Structure 1
Amino acid sequence: MGRWEPDARGRLMAAAVELFLERGYDATTVADIADRAGLTERTFFRHYGDKREVLFAGPVDVHDVLRTGVVTSTRPGVAPLTLVAGALDAVCALLQGDRERSRRRQQVIDAHDVLRERELIKLAAMADTIAQALRGQGVADPAASLAAEAGLAAFKVGWEQWMTDDSGGRDLTDHVRGCLDGLVGLAGGSPAPQSPTQAQATTKTRTQPVKDSPRPREGRPA
């Protein structure tokens, strides 16, 4: 029987972030991470597939959380974006525990192209999961896809705001909800100005003279 290793997953994550910041992502090995955490490489691979996944694999499947959030928010007549908000609330509750640890993790990601690309892939997968969950609740496309993509855009901006908010007065959920509200406000605001091509076409249509219809020719008397 293997020996008990309390919070091995958390220790590995903390050790990895420390080493990535100290030595750089490329210069850090799995053996380095395991040694810093006081664990073995075998233990590392029981929890993570590779060193990159230390930054992206959470203790709970975020896709299950999103799907459940959409389902539990479903009510008759509820708008798709409201269902998305319910799903994102559940994810925020999962992620907003330790802001400083999240900042350090994000600092590592922002410093490496390969990690930024991996984060974009993760966000795209989250949007796909939300869209599929919306379709499962009867929301047709393009509404399902649009609501999911809009929700993830609000989540991304809200996450960035939360990371830099030192006031401590608003949690991650507040920031994401605020971005969603702002998005709804934009959608209900004034129409976007016309492009130069559209404006030119409109002006041409308005100024083009209207030709008189030809008068019917009088018929010959029988």
Structure 2
Amino acid sequence: MGRWEPDARGRLASAALELYSERGYEQTTVAEIAKRAGLTERTFFRHYADKREVLFAGAGDLQELFVQAVEGAPESAVPVEALTAGLDAVCEVFVDRREYARRRHAVIAANAELRERELIKLASMSAALAAALRRRGVAEPAASLAAEAGIAVFKVGFERWIAADEEREMAQVVRESLDGLRTVARGR
């Protein structure tokens, strides 16, 4: 594949995930990623700050989508309903991406630095959701509690969805996780 071919960013991301899966994150260099993608290291650094960011490049967009869906929920929606709108929107991003999500998750799970980065991403998302809920008029600590619960539902649902034996759509699994939280909150 030549350097002139389109979608350099996507090619770099695919090459990185392939190499991380084959060799491990620590053992993979930027030079190897660029070579596998048919590009130069310079091109890599035009798209990504470092080899870690290949795995987290979409985090900001995902967070913004989640926040916008929460903010866009009907005014009459209670916090859990607004978060449900956000969860539904986020699930749409993952349609037809289960195999990629499984591979990415396996790479992250195998590396402490990447697990830490994933936790930072989720904490940032929770803070942004709490701020969105406050803008909707939800007082503290309810806004922060609801946001943390929404992230927990997302995390548990996502991990169940990428399980080897799971075949249902992510939205269904996440909704089931949300129902589980509601059951716990009711004390049953």
Do both proteins adopt the same fold according to a TM-score greater than 0.5, normalized to the shorter chain?
Answer: yes
Q: Which residue of 1 aligns with 2:43?
A: 43
CA-to-partner distance for each residue in 1:49-89, whole Å, 9 max, x for gaps?
Answer: 1100111112861222122111211322x210111111121
TM-score by length of 1: 0.79
Within 5 A, what are the aligned runs for 1:14-53?
14-53=14-53
In 1, the alpha carbon distance for the partners of 2:59 and 2:120 equals 19
Q: Which residue of 2 aligns with 1:176?
A: 174
Give the letter aligned to residue 47 of structure 1. Answer: H
In 2, the alpha carbon distance for the partners of 1:124 and 1:59 equals 12
Q: Which runs of 5+ in 2 are unaligned?
A: none
In 2, the alpha carbon distance for the partners of 1:32 and 1:120 equals 27
In 1, the alpha carbon distance for the partners of 2:46 and 2:5 equals 12
Paired residues, number = 186
More helix by share: 2
Q: Which residue of 2 aligns with 1:121?
A: 120
Q: Shift of residue 151 of structure 1? A: 0.8
Q: Shift of residue 136 of structure 1? A: 0.8
Which is greater in Rg? 1
Indicate the structure whose relative CO is greater, using CA pairs within 8 Å and at least 6 residues apart. 2
Within 5 A, what are the aligned runs for 1:96-175?
96-164=95-163, 166-168=165-167, 170-175=168-173
Q: What percentage of aligned pairs have identical amino acids? A: 58
Instruction: Report the 3-state secondary structure (helix = DSSP H, G, I; strand = E; otherwise coil) of the residue aligned with 2:57.
Output: coil
Q: Which residue of 1 aligns with 2:183?
A: 185
Q: CA RMSD, aligned part only?
A: 1.7
Q: Which runs of 5+ in 1 are unaligned?
A: 191-222
In 1, the alpha carbon distance for the partners of 2:29 and 2:43 equals 14
- Asked whether the equivalents of residues 20 and 107 of structure 2 are also in contact (C-alpha less than 8 Å), the reply is yes
Q: Shift of residue 5 of structure 1? A: 3.8
TM-score by length of 2: 0.92
